Chains A and B, each alone.
Chain A
Amino acid sequence: MIKGERVILRAVEERDLPLIARWRNDPEIARFFFSPFPINAGGQKKWYEDLLADGRRIVFMIDSLEGQAVGMLGLDNIDYRNQQAELGLVVLDPGQRERRYAREAVILTIRYAFEELNLHRLVAAMYAFNRRIIEGAQWHGFQEEAVLRQAAFSGGRFHDKVIMGLLREEWQARRGLEQGERPRDGAVSKGGL
């Protein structure tokens, strides 16, 4: 469990599955997914069982401090040898207009990835039309690294995909600046900021 000021990140439990299936089938949320397939209860159960057996994926439920599940997010394709993972699967409950929940959940997950999992690089992939998420990722320090042309089909046509990357040394340097601390491990001299 990872506790923040507004949210708590915790493991997915079986009781969360109906809620997750509802999110995944919500057209407003699914619009930003790379998979268009609807999911039923059996499929969501299988997803959960696969998740338990998969050492390359970590999914967190986002709870408010009052204990209400308001979203989820995760690390995918964790590659310990290359010390990298994909930050993704971010879903916020449509009833929750509190965007700060998502923001803090991402901050906590990035810190967990760099400070506990010993990752060196995080990557995120999103539709080029998903400007809000791209700007959100930039706010967290991600830099645009590539535009994959016509790489994903949705809504009747191919769309570009944007790949964004964040290195641990950059994140450490930024954190030091924000908190007025001295960055650790000489991160400022190495980082490109």
Chain B
Amino acid sequence: MMQGKRVVLRPVEERDLALLARWRNDPHNRRFFFSPFLINPGGQKRWYEDLLADRSRLILMIDTVEGKTVGMIGLNRIDWRNQEAESGMFLLDPEQRGQGYAEEAVMLMTNYAFEELNLHRLYAEIYDFNQGVIAMSKLFGFKEEGVLRQAAFTDGRFHDKVILGLLREEWQEEQGQK
């Protein structure tokens, strides 16, 4: 469990699955996903069982300090030898946007990745039109490393994907300045 001022990150429990399926199927959230497929309870259960067996993924639920579940955050493709992971799998309850929960959750997760998991690099792949998340990532020190041209299809056409990367030394330097 990771305790912040406003949110707490904790493991996914079976009781969260119905809520996760609802968020995943939400059209606003789905617009920013690279997979367009809808999920049913059986699929969400299977996702959970795969997650329990998978050492290359770490998914945490975001609770408010009052105990209300407001989102989910995760690290994917954890590569222990190269000490890197993809920072992603981000979901927020559609009714809880704009309250700063996401920002604190990303802060806690990034800190955990560098200071506890001993990762050396985090990266994120984001649709070029998802300017909100790109801007937020840059606030955390992520630097744009390139643009994958026409790499993902959604809404009738191919879109570019932006790759952002953050190195531990950059993160630590930034934290030291705060």
Contacts and interface: CB of A to CB of B under 8 A. Distances in A.
A146 B163 contact: yes
A104 to B, nearest CB: 26
A23 B123 CA distance: 31
Nearest to B143: A149
B146 A163 contact: yes
Interface string B137-165: 00000010111111111000010000101
A146 B145 contact: yes
A83 B157 CA distance: 12
A149 B150 contact: no
B63 interface: no
Contacts of A167: 149-150
Interface stretch (B7-15, B46-54, B64-72, B80-88): B80-88
B120 interface: yes
Contact of B121 (A81, A149, A163): A149
B78 to A, nearest CB: 14
Interface in B96-147: 120-121, 123, 143, 145-147
Contacts of A152: 82
A135 to B, nearest CB: 18
Nearest to B158: A120
Nearest to A84: B151
Given A120-B158, A163-B163, A150 B150 contact: no
Given A146-B163, A147-B146, A165-B148, A153 B123 contact: no
Contacts of A149: 121, 143, 145, 165, 167
A2 interface: no
Given A153-B81, A153-B83, A148 B149 contact: no
A147 B83 contact: no
A179 interface: no
Interface string A76-98: 00000111100000000000000
B148 A145 contact: yes
B167 A121 contact: no
Interface in A147-165: 147-153, 158, 163, 165
A83 B153 contact: yes
24 contacts: A34-B82, A36-B81, A81-B36, A82-B153, A82-B158, A84-B151, A120-B150, A120-B158, A143-B149, A145-B147, A146-B147, A146-B148, A146-B163, A147-B145, A148-B123, A148-B165, A149-B143, A149-B165, A149-B167, A150-B121, A151-B165, A158-B121, A163-B146, A165-B149
Counting from the closest, the 10 A-B pairs by CB-CB distance are A146-B146, A145-B146, A146-B145, A146-B163, A153-B82, A82-B153, A165-B149, A149-B165, A152-B82, A145-B148
Given A146-B148, A150-B167, 18 more contacts: A146-B146, A147-B146, A148-B123, A148-B146, A148-B165, A149-B121, A149-B167, A150-B121, A151-B84, A151-B123, A152-B82, A153-B81, A153-B82, A158-B120, A165-B148, A165-B149, A165-B151, A167-B149
Interface of B: 34, 36, 81-84, 120-121, 123, 143, 145-153, 158, 163, 165, 167
